Chain A
Amino acid sequence: TQLLEQSPQFLSIQEGENLTVYCNSSSVFSSLQWYRQEPGEGPVLLVTVVTGGEVKKLKRLTFQFGDARKDSSLHITAAQPGDTGLYLCAGANDYKLSFGAGTTVTVRA
């Protein structure tokens, strides 16, 4: 049983479209992280959100942490083929990370 549920599991969109990935949990975390993983590589950290209600923007990526610190979303504006990958959310308590199963995003040129 996953501690964190991600949706959707798969997402295929055309270049230039927007997308949102959701990460939900019944547990409260001290922080929540988003990673992107490409085939044959380990996950790479994109962002950490700590405060309930926090919104962080990295270029075309917007990350939001829910007020209760149990859920988060990742929004990509004007997606590009380079955004293709597996997006993972992970909740942190102390040094341990609990990962969701991931959302596979494919951006078609």
Chain B
Amino acid sequence: GAGVSQSPSNKVTEKGKDVELRCDPISGHTALYWYRQSLGQGLEFLIYFQGNSAPDKSGLPSDRFSAERTGGSVSTLTIQRTQQEDSAVYLCASSLVASPDTQYFGPGTRLTVL
């Protein structure tokens, strides 16, 4: 398919463990975004990548969260020493250019921290 893909679709982990979530954006899209959707809440912006520019990390909730984007394509969101409050759906979106108008979302990864 040509859409944004994310893996795994579901992840259950124990408190204190590290997790990695992967996002494959639409081919050719230069901008990539990570959001978190907690139960009963809207999407919360986490981080934004645009080409080779420094990422906007202003939405990361703590230093346990980090993300990288290799080769301007695939992105990995890493959460270290997971806590129960990290349980949420993590959504990735990509767009051709840096515009809010053309973000295409993946299906998300549902993270459950026991």
Contact = CB atoms under 8 A, between A and B. Distances in A.
**Interface of A (DSSP majority class):** strand
A49 B99 CA distance: 14
Contacts of B4: 42
A68 interface: no
Nearest to A42: B105
B3 to A, nearest CB: 9
Given A42-B4, A42-B93, A42-B108, A48 B101 contact: yes
Contact of B100 (A4, A6, A96): A96
B107 interface: yes
A49 to B, nearest CB: 11
11 contacts: A31-B101, A33-B100, A40-B9, A40-B108, A41-B105, A42-B106, A45-B101, A92-B100, A95-B98, A96-B48, A100-B42
Interface of B: 4, 9, 31, 35, 40-45, 48, 50, 56, 91, 93, 98-101, 103-108
